Copies of this chain bind each other. A is one copy, B any other.
C-alpha cells in the first residue's frame, strides 16, 4: 500500500486542483472544469436559484456566466486559504471575474468562493461550491 500523503502534500494537491479548475474556467474547457467534481455536487451560485444539485445543473450554471463575461474570460484567484484534513478539506478564496460592458468597457467583479472536498478513492473531489457577492441592499 502506498504511503499516506502528508498534510502539506494534501494541501498542495488541493491548491493545484483549484488553480487548474480556475484555468479551465478561463479557457472555457468544460471537461476540465468538471474533472474533479462529484456527481451529486451541491452548488450555491452567485445568481438564483438558492441552490443547485447534481453535475448536470452545475455544468448548465456556466452558460449564464459566460454570457455575462468578456472573452478572454478573467477568473483569477486573488487569495486562497486551504484547510486540508486526511479525507475532508475546504478552501476559502477571493476571486476576480468581470462583466462585459458596452464597447468593451468591462467591469471587474470580486466574489467569494468556498469549496468543500472529500478524498474519494485517493482523489480529492469537489462535493460543494459556494460562490457569492456581498448583498447590495
- A88: chain B residues within 8 A (beta carbon): 83-86, 88-90
Q: Are A114 and B134 in contact (CB under 8 A)?
A: no
Binds B, one of A15-23, A24-32, A46-54, A69-77: A46-54
Q: Are A90 and B128 in contact (CB under 8 A)?
A: yes
Q: Are B50 and A110 in contact (CB under 8 A)?
A: yes
Give A133 to B50 CA distance when docked, in angstroms: 7
Given A83-B118, A88-B84, A116-B90, residue A50 in contact with residue B134 (CB < 8 A): yes
Give A87 to B11 CA distance when docked, in angstroms: 14
The answer, among B87, B130, B137, for a CB contact under 8 Å with A130, is B130
- A51: chain B residues within 8 A (beta carbon): 94, 112
Give A134 to B136 CA distance when docked, in angstroms: 11
Whose C-beta in chain B lies nearest to the C-beta of A10? B88
Please give the distance in Å from A65's CB to the nearest CB on chain B. Answer: 12
Whose C-beta in chain B lies nearest to the C-beta of A91? B116
- Extra A-B contacts (15), CB below 8 Å, given A86-B88, A88-B89, A135-B136: A44-B112, A49-B134, A51-B94, A51-B112, A83-B88, A85-B86, A86-B86, A86-B87, A88-B90, A92-B116, A112-B132, A114-B114, A114-B130, A130-B132, A132-B133
Ranked nearest first, the 6 interchain pairs of A and B with the lowest CB-CB distance are A85-B88, A132-B132, A44-B112, A48-B134, A90-B116, A85-B85
